[in-house]
A and B are shown apart, each in its own frame.
Chain A
Amino acid sequence: MIKARWKRGIGAALFVAMAGGLTAGALLSSPAVADETCQSPYMAKIVGQEDFVYVWTLGVEGVGDGQDKLVTVSVNPKSSSFGKVVSSVSVGGRNEAHHSGFTDDRRFLWAASLDTNKIFVFDVHSNPAKPKLTKTIKDFVRKSGGVVGPHTTYALPGRMMITGLSNNKDHGGRTALVEYTNDGKYVSTHWMPTDQNLHGAKKTGKYADGYGYDVRALPRLNVMITSSFTGWSNYMMDFGKMLGDKEAMKRFGNTMVVWDLHTRKPKEVLDVPGAPLEVRCAWNPNHNYCFTTTALTSKIWLVYMDEKNKWHAKAVADIGDPSKVPLPVDISISSDDSHLWVNTFMDGNTRLFDVSDPFHPKMVFEKQIGSQVNMVSSSWDGKRLYFTTSLLSNWDKKGKADEQFFKAYDWDGRQLKEQFAIDFMKAKLGRPHQMRFGAYSLYAEKAPNSQTTLADRR
């Protein structure tokens, strides 16, 4: 199921778009680990050298201007600004910057905030080196009918699917999916199924908690999959305080939901106890499964469809020593579905699992990136990996261990070799969180003073 809708230009164009399957073969001569594979399948994709990494960064009281900001790092080795921050756009306030996502045409980046519920929309196409804040959605809670904590901003054709984490009644975990058009107009709210109201879904296990976190779509199966984290009270509070609060610890998601993508109706609630976070679905059209990791129980879970089209969830591997609460955070699946990068926050490690047998993942590589690590993003060709440190403003480590950096590595299939690092505290920027890639080629442009072509890295 290959849908390269975007035509390749001659010369600078080095992106393709995919819609539910693999890209055109010619563009995928070396399937590799790639964060780009974690994007919406409806979206244009960079397959060559990325020019920029957009880092959605949390402001820290007393550091620089103390505000959240979108920081643009130049990452093309051919650029004179390689390894430098080339732009920083402060958005006002500390909003608990967290995740961001492009619209399907990749012209705008929607950066959401878990505390103040604002969504900042940046124009990244007019000048990819200098994103511009063009719209701030401030009435998300009111428009959505009480959804708090916009998290994943996931591209659907002409619209954005936004997962919530909480609500304005109790700041607990009951929440919904919210749809907006690319223009920033509210469309609809889809509440997560709960024991009180399953919204027509079937509860297959013990839980129907109504919590939310991430969303991914499998268009070829007409399926959408969501995971579940926790409400505002927990994700906003001091991490240590929460671990010591018996009541708070009972309020984590234990479910994933399989949805009908076309109708946006929940179909089945699956038990996945221990806060399943990021969802990464396989790309091969014969691979009807997705991975997630449970933050608190430190396991890789496989969510898969059997021959009878029935969905199941199964714990398939431990990540590190679960008794030490390593806290798996960001994950990234390779475009050939063979490998999965897994970061663990507490020990600051990144781990690579061979998942070619999805039921039996095996760890094949492990390295400490820093005293703490959260996000990992890889280039399409898998040769470059980027890491950032911040998890949540009040969950990050305290004191000296609270390192806040952006680090770029080269990956040769055996070793990670550091290329450069930016200390975000020293640079008075804040806590770096999610990374998204930008490239001149997406907009049929040539980089000033540099050539970025598909051939550069081949």
Chain B
Amino acid sequence: MKASIAMAGGLFSLLLAATGLAYAGGDNATPALAPGYGALGFVPPAVGSYELPALKMAPNGNVLDESGKQVSLYQVFGDKIVVFSFIYSTCGDVNGCPLATFVLNRLKKRMDADPELGANVRLVTISFDPEHDTPAVMRLYAANFKDGAGQWRFLTTASQQQLRPILDSYGQRIQREVDASGQATNTFSHVLRVFLIDRQRQIRNIYAVSFLHPDLVVNDIKTILRAPPIIARSSSKVATSAATKYSPAKLLARLQTPPLGLPPMPVPADNALSPIKVALGRKLFFDRRLSLNQTVSCAMCHIPQQGFTNNELATSVGIEGRTVRRNAPTLYNVGYKQRLFHDGRETALRRQIWGPLLNHNEMGNVAVGQIIGKIRSLQDYSNQFDQAFPTRGLDMETLGMAIASYERTLVSGNSPFDRWYYGGEKGAVSQSAKRGFGLFSGKAGCSACHSVGKRHALFTDQRLHNTGIGYARSMAIEPPTRKVEVAPGVVLDVATSIMRSVSGQAPADLGLYEVTQDPADRWKYTTPTLRNIALTAPYMHDGSLPTLRDVIEFYNRGGVANEELDTRIHPLHLRQQEIDDLVAFLSTLTGDDVGALVGDASSAPIGDPGGAATDGGVPQVTRAE
């Protein structure tokens, strides 16, 4: 026993001497000393310039102090900030336990010299070799470091049985090594970890060999001393810019008196709007758990911050990345739409939602009952449907009615155009925009489909037309190469064969024909509203035109010739100035309420798995409807 102690002490003396050596790395032949033996290789971050979030509570445990008395770790920690290290006294790995002890000794000297540290910090070393490191051994070990003001305690345990829960709770995995014959040796494998524990007994940092250095530890301690105590972990929130936002009640009030330029909102008699329905619909709209694998909500394709469409994609991407063939239409003023989807196949908002919910390539749900069951299993929806629909509760139709109620509130008007054209405010739009409107309703003929009324304008005739965009997509012959911008300004001509090798079969898209089966309806798509059009790029049903100028130039060329091309589409012979004027006009159609609507949407909770609610991962059997 004595020999071992002497060995430990001798080793330590050797290490003290070793600090005179230059700290250096780079030589493969000799193990270099850890930074803790020398100067830190960088300037440590300034005290208070950073945070040390609480990792977890430092576990308690029963130990033996230097006198062999049973105490708890918490008794030893007291009300101090603690630097806590696991060692065994016979450890011979220069960058192992001796490093920890060496750095703690440097810390002790700093505590002796710095009253702030001396008063607030306690060093605690515990052995993970109770058989060898008895209290007597630890007392001898401690004798090397007892002088001075700084407090340093040396602990051990009565047995492996007492030690084990402490090791487990601090994640210290120790393996006693075996020799070639399988006999246990006196050496251990372990990952060196030193813990920094605050006064609330929360672990605030875990040091490893590469950065266990007194300069860092001291700055961490002082950073904790100068910051208010952390009681619970704080979760970072996504920054939202909800400067002016609407409450559900305010959203509703806007429908009573529609913004300038918009007609009254048609509301079905059996689905009168109420704040509770709007709030419920909004919650559903942003709930990613409503898709089969809990990744896709309505809002993932109709993104409020991107014009309630997706500015970053031509055509949408569904669950598991599945291909969606069309561009997500904006939901601004969707309550006025008479025919839904680009091919006009649906006529009621409350039913529309079931398309995306059940489509294999959108939200991927497998049955109505499965979705209803999932919502029933989510605790955060409990009673909400009963409150919103007192006589019905949650069923297939009320789910759609709630979402439709929220969508109806997305009215957006009182644009500069509205204030000029309907409000008589002469300076609301530029001269160029005024000329643009003249062209829009005159030479360019846009208003033939994008209708403008005497008292309000939805900028749509609610009908479907063939512009040739869909025809071209279906019928055009593939070119040998296609231009691909692989980085800003770096455009490559990529062989179509390369692109084909990684392309799935492109889905067919025949427009209204898919609904009516009438060949005359091939490639007909609904006329979209132009309100907020500056916010909803890219354009057309397939998102193929990136800018408004591209769209005007497309119509200026007369679309794409095909048998079913709408007769109103023909070459327009617009000059560049006229195209500029049309773009200026279209840019005046952005509502003054967009910021508030986006602000409201940004503050809506996003439904993700976890939290108080069950994760909804297991389909529940739906009770009889």
Contacts and interface: CB of A to CB of B under 8 A. Distances in A.
B271 to A, nearest CB: 29
B611 A139 contact: yes
A22 B177 contact: no
Contact of A297 (B320, B486, B493): B486
B295 to A, nearest CB: 6
B494 A325 contact: yes
Interface string B55-72: 110000000000000000
A410 interface: no
A247 B188 CA distance: 57
Contacts of B178: 9-11, 444
B50 A263 contact: yes
A145 B236 contact: yes
Interface in B31-87: 31-32, 34-35, 41-42, 44-45, 49-51, 53, 55-56
Contact of A324 (B173, B305, B495, B500): B495
Nearest to B211: A219
B303 interface: yes
Interface stretch (B145-153, B308-316, B457-465, B557-565): B308-316
A22 B210 contact: no
Given A10-B185, A142-B608, A262 B45 contact: yes
B25 interface: yes
B190 A5 contact: yes
Interface string A147-186: 0100000000111000000011111100010010111011
Given A183-B171, A241-B323, A146 B606 contact: yes
A65 interface: no
Contacts of A401: 501
Contact of A105 (B50, B191, B610): B191
B286 to A, nearest CB: 9
A104 interface: yes
Contacts of A185: 55-56, 233
Most-contacted residue by chain A among B44, B193, B312, B602 (CB, 10 A): B312
A247 B284 CA distance: 28
Interface in A327-365: 346
Contacts of A240: 499-504
A233 B488 contact: no
Contacts of A197: 239
Contact of A167 (B29, B179, B180, B238): B238
A115 B42 contact: no
Contact of A296 (B30, B191, B487, B501): B487
Interface in A89-147: 93-96, 104-105, 107, 115-117, 138-139, 141-146
A238 interface: yes
Interface in B483-510: 484-488, 490, 492-495, 498-504, 506
Interface stretch (A71-79, A375-383, A388-396, A423-431): A388-396
Given A3-B34, A181-B56, A395-B502, A241 B315 contact: yes
Contact of B312 (A9, A158, A233, A297): A233
A323 B95 contact: no
Question: Could you tell me the dominant secondary structure of chain A's interface residues?
Answer: loop
A115 B237 contact: no
B105 interface: no
By size class, the interface of chain B is: 35 or more
Contacts of A179: 53
B235 A249 contact: no
B177 A9 contact: yes
A333 to B, nearest CB: 16
Interface residues of A, number: 118
B32 A1 contact: yes
Contact of B32 (A21, A94, A237): A21
A346 B492 CA distance: 15
A236 interface: yes
Nearest to A230: B312
Most-contacted residue by chain A among B95, B482, B615 (CB, 10 A): B95
A273 B487 CA distance: 6
A243 B306 contact: no
Contacts of B35: 1, 220
A41 B312 contact: no
A169 B303 contact: yes
A286 B41 CA distance: 12
Interface in A206-258: 206, 219-222, 231-233, 235-241, 243-252, 254
B312 A170 contact: yes
B424 interface: no
B26 A286 contact: yes
A443 B34 CA distance: 24
B609 interface: yes
Most-contacted residue by chain A among B55, B490, B543 (CB, 10 A): B55
A19 B93 CA distance: 14
Interface in B564-609: 602, 606, 608-609
Contacts of B238: 145-146, 167, 169
Contacts of B32: 1-2, 21-22, 285
Given A170-B306, A262-B45, A262-B50, A3 B484 contact: no
Nearest to B293: A116
B28 interface: yes
Given A9-B178, A393-B320, A247 B502 contact: no
Contacts of A107: 173
Interface string A4-28: 1111011101000101111011001
B396 interface: no
B189 to A, nearest CB: 5
Nearest to A240: B503
A199 to B, nearest CB: 10
A131 B254 CA distance: 58
Contacts of A1: 25-26, 32, 34-35, 41, 210
Interface stretch (B11-19, B201-209, B438-446, B518-526): B201-209
B288 interface: yes
Given A3-B210, A169-B303, A188-B236, A273 B488 contact: yes
A262 B50 CA distance: 9
Contacts of B173: 105, 107
A252 to B, nearest CB: 7
Nearest to A250: B485
A19 B294 CA distance: 39
B399 to A, nearest CB: 21
A325 B501 CA distance: 12
B273 interface: no
B298 to A, nearest CB: 13
A374 to B, nearest CB: 13
B187 A116 contact: no
Contacts of A186: 233, 235
Given A5-B95, A143-B235, A324-B495, A396 B502 contact: yes
B216 interface: yes
Contacts of B49: 263
A33 to B, nearest CB: 16
Given A139-B611, A220-B35, A233-B313, 18 more contacts: A5-B190, A9-B178, A11-B180, A28-B28, A141-B610, A142-B609, A169-B303, A172-B312, A187-B233, A236-B317, A243-B503, A247-B312, A251-B312, A260-B45, A273-B487, A323-B493, A325-B498, A397-B501
Interface of B: 25-32, 34-35, 41-42, 44-45, 49-51, 53, 55-56, 93, 95-96, 171, 173, 175-180, 185, 187-193, 206-211, 216, 233, 235-239, 288, 293-295, 299-300, 303, 305-306, 310-315, 317, 320-321, 323, 482, 484-488, 490, 492-495, 498-504, 506, 537-538, 543, 546, 602, 606, 608-611, 615, 617
Nearest 6 pairs between A and B by C-beta? A139-B610, A240-B503, A236-B321, A263-B50, A285-B25, A1-B25
22 contacts: A1-B32, A42-B208, A42-B210, A94-B293, A96-B320, A142-B611, A144-B235, A145-B238, A170-B303, A171-B300, A172-B312, A181-B56, A219-B208, A220-B25, A220-B41, A221-B42, A243-B484, A246-B485, A273-B488, A297-B490, A346-B502, A394-B320
